[in-house]
Amino acid sequence: MKEIKRFQIRGVPGDVRRVDFNGRIVDYWLPKTAATHLLIAHDGQNVFDGRTSTHRGQTWKMAQSATHVSRELGITPPAIIAVWHSGSKQDPWGRGKDLVPQKYFQEGIPVHKDFVHAFQPELLHGDSYLRTILDEYVPAIAPGISSSRTAMIGSSMGALATLYAVAQFPEKISTALALSTHWPFGDNELVERTIKELPDPINHKIWMSHGTKGLDSEYAPFQHLADKLMHERGYLPHNFVSKVYERSGHNERSWAKYLDQPMRFWLNSA
């Protein structure tokens, strides 16, 4: 782990640190008091720093939200680890290689017709991406935090990766916060496989949400199916929430506006 830089966020104590883990950039923020909770975020470019955000300076304002909700609940804010995706001009599919649920598509779920021309399931490396986060980045940055107090968060393809992670590593992640889950990438088959693979609801919590504008407007029928299957799996209101946000779109500004709600869902009883 090699430190690249430190920077501050308005209204948030301490520094965000940017480090290089063997070519993968990770931003992280630790509260001044030792953290008892950990939040792992995908698309780390967009979490803290508007200068690296892929959407015109928009960020999740995640540290601000975590600080606000934690103060409200009377707890120490969580440590936040934001992992950059590997997409670039040289490798425009790098983000997809990181975030697409590897086993599901390599084992036969067909990708949506709009992506068939560029999709190569044999190149997916989501399993090693997640394993590296959990086995290398987490111990190096925020050791000793219980898995029962560890959550993962992502949007769109990052939401798919988040749900996949809790299914593949249920012993290391207790809560999945999946915003604007990009179900159309694999249609109903992806919904069914994802829900089937989720762990027993007794020790896990799942948040799902989407808006009604832009790309998010396509998600409703898939999410209705997901909700039905989640209830059939035995998930109840205390460990599963599915929300629709009217006039909310598919961008960091929209997610930041309601981030306090999934944050509270996680931290209120974590």
The CA-based angle 159-148-202, given to 5 degrees, is 80
State how many domains the chain has: 1
Residue-averaged pLDDT of the chain: 96
* For residue 270, pLDDT beyond 70: no
Q: Rounded to the nearest 10 degrees, how much is the dihedral formed by the CA atoms of 56, 16, 12, 256?
A: 40
Q: What is the pLDDT of residues 162-196, one digit of tens each?
A: 999 999 999 999 999 999 999 999 999 999 999 99
Q: What is the CATH number of the domain that holds 74?
A: 3.40.50.1820
Output the pTM of the full model.
0.97
Per-residue pLDDT reduced to its tens digit, 79-121: 999 999 999 988 989 999 999 999 999 999 999 988 888 789 9
The whole domain housing 175 covers: 2-267
User: Residue 144: exposed, middle, or buried by beta-carbon count in 10 A (0-12, 13-18, 19+)?
Assistant: exposed
Whether the pLDDT of residue 267 is over 80: the answer is yes
- When pLDDT is averaged across residues 213-228 and rounded to a whole number, the result is 98
- pLDDT for position 71: 96
Distance CA(130)–CA(137), nearest Å, equals 10
